Amino acid sequence: MFDLLKLACDKAAQAGCQFADARFLSIQKQRVVSRDHALSSCSDSEDRGFGVRVLCRGAWGFASSPTYTAAEIEKVVALALRIARASALAPRADGVKWAPEPALKLEYKSACRQDPFAVALEDKADLLIAANEVMLRNSAVMRAQGFLSFKRVQRWYANTEGAEMHSDVTSSESAIWAIAVGNGDFQERNWKAPATTQGFESYRKAEFLEQAERVADEAEQKLTAKLAPEGYFDIVTDSENLSLTIHESVGHATELDRVMGYEVSMAGSSFVSRDKMGEFRYGSDQVTLVADNTLENGLATQGFDDDGVPGQRWEIVRDGIFQTYSTGREFAHYIGEERSRGSCRADHWSSIPIVRIPNLFLMPGKAPLSPDELIADVRHGLYFEGMDSFSIDQWRLNFQFGGNAVWEIKNGRKAGMLKAALYQSRTPTFWNACDATCDASHWQAHGVTNCGKGDPMQIAQMTHGAAPTRFRNIRICRGRDS
């Protein structure tokens, strides 16, 4: 497999490129969707192809093709060179400074014990439909749905520096949800089995059935829940809810390409300017946020990135102080770092790599602390569980998030459910309001599989994690008029 990739690199080098790399990807996907007592779809796909990236006279060119032959390699390299010449019409004044990296030979395979593509469709149907039937036993539930989604990406990478790398990563994702109708309203409640780079072994039918009963019950409860109060309250977030807040307010904010203006026209920039490194108080001293592209079963754990840099672990925020960014080889020099953090990924063989959020998580508290104890110290507040409405500005400052289920906290205990609750804050204000997070025994990871960035849009996946965490005096508003 490497021979043709090396041919592409050789051709680019012969044409005078200062750097070139080539990737071949084989992508297999399956998505099984259930609706009530049936499967509404089963979609399989297989997709193969390669992309060649060249850096010539300070300008990038990229071309790709699904046809993997020597003749096509030569054609695509020529096309990439032609595109690089077109790029050179508006060159970067200071050129491209490409961080050095040893030419490694790497092999990486994710820990998938039960190949999801080999599992019988009947077993998948049984899992999803059985969960739906449990949800439909609740008479308030009008629609029960679910899905199983699997992806296997085999990737071969070579570059002009001599790197040869291969990865084989399978990832799995599933969710079920119920829509209840009544009381002049309709409400949705879901449960997501955390997306990981494990296989079908991570799905247990008993857990689906147990969650289905709870999901249906809480969907019904949401119908008669009272509208959320407005004002300033203490809030407690579960690990899934906070995972999305970490993603939006820390992950994207600390992508260095955004800071350098590369995403201004689409995803935006970031308030985390370079002068904040090592000094800026991002959060309270309870807040340590760690990036780790070696995290076991993490969705961004792929052995190496699409710049040919091995996965690494680093601190983005330590004890509340901002440390450093996620980078790729093109960006490390902007912050005086000699090596890329290895967080540059493409979503397809026809896409160019861009800096992506790594696996990123909030470290659990060091002292023993349970969710009940966390809530016990809230006189009047809200408890947010799961992901719902999420929106953040283009500087990653002003955000507003909801929860898939929200409870009122009264006198240190969870009380009734609330409707249309949203918390709205600014990133540093929010993270500085964090006064406690539960200990490691309550820490959970949650996969994000739909992270959009780039222009044209690319979709990436990564894992976040947290233990239930408390924030003081956060603004609560409503998504529905009273």
Q: Report 48-77 residues binding another protein (CB under 8 A).
A: 48-49, 59-67
Whose Cβ is closer to another protein: residue 58's or residue 310's?
Answer: 58
Whose Cβ is closer to another protein: residue 92's or residue 313's?
Answer: 92
Q: Assign residue 386 a region: left if phi > 0, alpha if psi is -120 to 50, beta otherwise? A: left
Name the strand (E) or helix (H) holding 2.
helix 2-14
Task: Pull the structure tokens for residue 446.
Answer: 């949650």
Whose Cβ is closer to another protein: residue 193's or residue 260's?
Answer: 260
CA dihedral 385→387→390→395, nearest 10 degrees, is 90
What string marks each residue from 277 to 316 as x (binds another protein by CB under 8 A) or -?
Answer: ----------------------------------------
Within positions 153 to 182, which residues make up the interface with another protein, using CB under 8 A? 179, 181
Q: What is the DSSP letter of 276?
A: G
Residue among 233, 249, 242 at smallest CA distance from 398: 249
Number of H helices, E strands in the chain: 8, 25
Q: Report the distance separating Cα 430 and Cα 422, nearest Å.
A: 14
Instruction: Give yes or no for residue 44 binding another protein (CB under 8 A).
Output: yes
Q: How far is the CB of 105 from another protein (least distance, A)?
A: 28
Amino acid at residue number 99 = A
What's the chain's Rg over C-alpha atoms? 24
Interface size with another protein, residues (CB under 8 A): 80
Whose Cβ is closer to another protein: residue 360's or residue 392's?
Answer: 392
Whose Cβ is closer to another protein: residue 175's or residue 179's?
Answer: 179
Instruction: Give yes or no for residue 82 binding another protein (CB under 8 A).
Output: yes
Query: What b/e string do you get for 98-119 counting C-beta neighbours within 10 Å, with b at 16 or more?
Result: bbebeeeeeebebebeeebeeb
Name the strand (E) or helix (H) holding 373.
helix 371-376
Distances (CA, A) of 352 to 63, 345, 383, 403: 9, 8, 41, 34
Instruction: Give yes or no for residue 333 binding another protein (CB under 8 A).
Output: no
Whose Cβ is closer to another protein: residue 38's or residue 440's?
Answer: 38
Residue 77: CB atoms within 10 A of its CB come to 25
Choice from 74, 107, 115, 455 touching another protein (CB under 8 A): 455
Choice from 266, 277, 335, 433 touching another protein (CB under 8 A): 266
Q: How far is the CB of 409 from another protein (least distance, A)?
A: 21
In a 3-state reduction of DSSP, which class is residue 70? helix
Whose Cβ is closer to another protein: residue 108's or residue 390's?
Answer: 390
Whose Cβ is closer to another protein: residue 224's or residue 350's?
Answer: 350
Whose Cβ is closer to another protein: residue 94's or residue 411's?
Answer: 94
Within positions 378 to 417, which residues make up the interface with another protein, using CB under 8 A? 389-395, 397-398, 400, 402
What string marks each residue from 337 to 376 as x (binds another protein by CB under 8 A) or -?
Answer: -------------xxx------------------------
Q: How far is the CB of 426 from another protein (least distance, A)?
A: 9
Residue 435: CB atoms within 10 A of its CB come to 16
Task: Tell me the window of 263-271, 280-288, 408-416, 435-443 that interacts with another protein (CB under 8 A).
Answer: 263-271
Q: What is the DSSP letter of 307?
A: T
Whose Cβ is closer to another protein: residue 35's or residue 414's?
Answer: 35
Q: Report the distance separating Cα 323 and Cα 227, nearest Å.
A: 40
What string marks each residue from 177 to 216 as x (binds another protein by CB under 8 A) or -?
Answer: --x-x--xxx-x----------------------------
Within positions 120 to 159, which residues make up the interface with another protein, using CB under 8 A? 120-122, 125, 129, 142-143
In a 3-state reduction of DSSP, which class is residue 334? helix
